[in-house]
Amino acid sequence: MNPQRSPVPWRWVVLYYAVALGVALPFNLGWLAPWFDTHLPGTMLARYPFLPAALGPAIGALLARRFGPRPIQTTTLLGTSAWRTLVTALIPLGFFSLVDPRAGLYALVALIYAAGEEFGWRGYLADALAPLRWPWSLAVISLLWWFWHLRFTTTFDLLVFPPIILVSSLVLGHAARTSGSVLVAAAMHALIIVLTASGAPSRPMLFAGAATLAAWVLQGTLWPAPRPTRPDDGNR
């Protein structure tokens, strides 16, 4: 017999999302971009004013975990194998640094940014929605994640970006579940950011991205992550 699962803590999910959305809103809408341009010219914040938005999911998750009912935690920062997780995160930094030291720095910034997001989406929210059947939890996370970006102005935003979010939720969620690590999901998320945030990537950047994917496949084949132990998942 399957043990009884706790219900979804919907009030705390709403609180998490309100904080995630509220903190990120001025950055995702670009309201502070002129200020960054004026006071921090030439910096990452001036070029990518959305970066502080990752604080929203991170702060929301911290508050919900600290003060709300604690769902069974299935992911940590480093997961089931700290060394393997660190290698996973360092692989893209290495390849992009070979292309250009500035690209390596951007990959590092993207990793930190993505870790903040993933701490919320694939960390707290995935655990909080675990009582739902898998297709429903995937749908809820994808919908909330898509809306959080506040991108509604172009055809791409409305028709192309949502399927990208859905596929990314599927892939990143699988990576987090199988490794038990938020950082593994963040490394994959960071790769997407590095290759897409500045428009069409250059050929060297594409090479670094392809090399990263090949190295991850090789790593997963030769050095698989131990599967995390978790309660019975019979309702999925």
* pLDDT, position 2: 44
What does the pLDDT average to over 10-27?
98
The pLDDT assigned to 224 comes to 78
For residue 21, pLDDT beyond 80: yes
- pLDDT given at position 199: 75
Mean pLDDT confidence for 13-28: 98
pLDDT, residue 229, reads 65
Contacts with 66 (C-beta within 8 Å, 6 or more apart), sequence order: none
φ, ψ (nearest 5 deg) of residue 184: -65, -45
Give mean pLDDT, residues 64-77.
92
pLDDT, tens only, 87-121 = 999 999 999 999 999 999 999 999 999 999 999 99
Residues near 137 by beta carbon (within 8 Å), at least 6 away in sequence: 126, 129, 130
The pLDDT tens digits of the residues spanning 125-163 come to 999 999 999 999 999 999 999 999 999 999 989 999 999
* Mean pLDDT (whole number) for 44-70: 96
Is the pLDDT higher at 55 or at 157?
55
- The pLDDT, as a whole number, for residue 201 is 84
- Give the per-residue pLDDT at 230: 58
CA 136 to CA 21: how far, in whole Å? 21
Q: Is the pLDDT of residue 30 over 60?
A: yes
Asked whether the predicted pLDDT for residue 232 surpasses 60, the reply is no
Whether the Cβ atoms of residue 166 and residue 143 lie closer than 8 Å to each other:
no
Between CA 77 and CA 75 the distance in angstroms is 7
Does pLDDT of 65 surpass 70? yes
Of the chain, the percentage scoring pLDDT greater than 70 comes to 94
Residue for token pair 């920062």: 77
Q: What is the mean pLDDT of the chain?
A: 92
Locate 60 and state its tokens.
């929301």
Is 70 exceeded by the pLDDT of residue 220? Answer: yes
Q: Which of 140, 130, 139, 142 is nearest to 236 (CA)?
A: 130
Q: Is 217's pLDDT higher than 50?
A: yes
